[in-house]
Structure 1
Amino acid sequence: MPVLLKLLTAALFTCLSFAAHGEKLRIVTEPWAPYVYDDNGTMRGLDYETTVIVFQRLGVDVQWQFLPWKRCLAMLDQGHADGALDIFHSHDRDALLLYPSEPLSEVEFALYYANERPHPVETLDDLRGLTVGTSPGYLYSEAFRESTLFNHEPAPSHEANFGKLSLGRIDLLITDRRVGQHVLKALGLEGKVSQAPMVVSRQQQFLAVRRGAGMDLLVQRFAAELKRFKQEPAYAALSEKYGGGPAPTASIPVPEHTVEQQESSAP
């Protein structure tokens, strides 16, 4: 049998194996709007809906579960989950997980300021003496995280940070670009808060699966179909729906080793 035919046959059996045994691919994730979140009982989000479409095209049924990020990682380690949505690539997990060559999305941490008190910063030096709102459990770039030029003031949620910004209790806040746009719209703050031109850090997010028989072929097919879907008008519309559009161009160099923003508070 030709090698190509063998590969295609193996990939087909891998995708059909779950259905043949009455099983579903078990995917865990933590709500991270607008990438993946629960909207009054309906799962939505750019990366969630993209993944659903790709797996539908591959003929793979998926069972989804929302959990705190540390619990998601524990389930992967214990074999109670087959994969995780919106996970950063970490070389420390290469022995456990397989990552598609095509990422689902890219996180871009940016700064926001109130229009009544503008601070259109372009470098970290521009933050000197200011107070920046942060979110506990999120890992920003090392340069930002360890800087003593400005004050770091945590808040329990993104909504709380934007509230403090509106009240003048902080000078700026930091969050992912799409997340920031999502919260601004939800709180009715559009036109009252602006995004600074600087990107503090960038990091790609993936759908990763546990290593196992045939999973490498599944990952290859997922990456190929994901890349194909990203070229279609349907994906452009989905991206626009969840905060697409021009992104800032300036950025601060980041260290090579990074982990999930959700995971940074883990011991």
Structure 2
Amino acid sequence: MRIAALCLLLMPWVVQAEEWKVVGDEQFAPYSFVTIEDDLPRGLDVELVEAVMQEAKLPYSLRLYPWERVKRMLDRGDVAMAFQFAGTPERMQQYELVGPIRTGSTVFMTSRKTNLTDWAELDDLSPYIIGQVRGYAYQSDFDKADLRRDSSAQNPRQLVSMLLAGRIDVIVGDRVQLMYFVREQRAEQSVRILAKPLVEMPRYVAFTKGDRTRADPFAAALERLRQAGTLDAIYQRWH
């Protein structure tokens, strides 16, 4: 009994002393992406997570992978933490979410060839084929809505290419990110962002459900940096 009690007392120290394996989406520019030149993780969210880990004085390694693999690694317990998860009720039931580390505006984007200029209800989108990235969560009502969807895109860059090629009518995603890929293809004049956003979506880091031993020190360090203005300074460098 004494040995078991001692193990429980030491567990938080062991978890914090071991190197955390941290993973994120490799196709989520400008928030997280891998550079061709040196194969290193870059992006706003990468810098935010690294700043928190350093503030918490936690040893870590950070790698980026395809999003479906990121989720599988976290679900299997192969990694300590993953980012950047949408703050939907479903995700909150699945994982121990900490944050948000930032908030992004989820919007609908169309080609200027499409006659859709805005929407009021999700039913207004029913005549159109809506492209979305496979495995992404956007917003609960939208995710459950009976709409015509194309979920063949593996990442947001591919989603933008499909819209520009006329394969789909509308795409959904983070405003900053979609425009990043549109500018990459010099196609700003070819697209339209609908005025009404789908949602202002907070983005979180995720731990396995119930893993407060890791979640709590990360949350405390995140709050210290938020209070100090450090997170805002990082955010402004990317905007």
Q: TM-score, normalised by structure 1?
A: 0.67
Tell me the residue number matched to 2:4.
Answer: none
Tell me the residue number matched to 1:34.
Answer: 30
Aligned partner (choices 95, 102, 106) of residue 105 of structure 1: 102
In structure 2, the CA distance between the partners of 1:207 and 1:45, relative to structure 1 (3 Å rule), is: same
Please list the CA deviations of residues 14-72 of structure 1 after superposition, one character each: whole Å capped at 9, or x if unmatched.
59952xxxx42221223222221112212111111111122223333321133344544
Question: 3-state DSSP class of the match of 1:103?
Answer: strand
In structure 2, C-alpha distance between the alignment counterparts of 1:77 and 1:147, rounded to whole Å: 26
1:65 aligns with 2:66: no
RMSD of aligned Cα (Å):
3.3
Tell me the residue number matched to 1:255.
Answer: none
Compute the displacement of 1:145 (Å): 4.0
Question: 3-state DSSP class of the match of 1:48?
Answer: helix
Would the aligned equivalents of 1:159 and 1:183 in 2 still touch at CA under 8 Å? yes
Would the aligned equivalents of 1:15 and 1:218 in 2 still touch at CA under 8 Å? no
Identity %: 19
In structure 2, the CA distance between the partners of 1:66 and 1:163, relative to structure 1 (3 Å rule), is: closer
Tell me the residue number matched to 1:221.
Answer: 220
In structure 1, C-alpha distance between the alignment counterparts of 2:194 and 2:223, rounded to whole Å: 35
Tell me the residue number matched to 2:46.
Answer: 48
1:25 aligns with 2:23: no
In structure 2, the CA distance between the partners of 1:216 and 1:190, relative to structure 1 (3 Å rule), is: closer
Question: 3-state DSSP class of the match of 2:134?
Answer: coil
Q: TM-score, normalised by structure 2?
A: 0.73
In structure 1, C-alpha distance between the alignment counterparts of 2:228 and 2:238, rounded to whole Å: 12
Would the aligned equivalents of 1:112 and 1:172 in 2 still touch at CA under 8 Å? yes
Q: Which runs of 5+ in 2 are unaligned?
A: 1-11
Q: Higher strand share goes to which structure?
A: 2
Compute the displacement of 1:177 (Å): 1.4
Would the aligned equivalents of 2:106 and 2:198 in 1 still touch at CA under 8 Å? yes
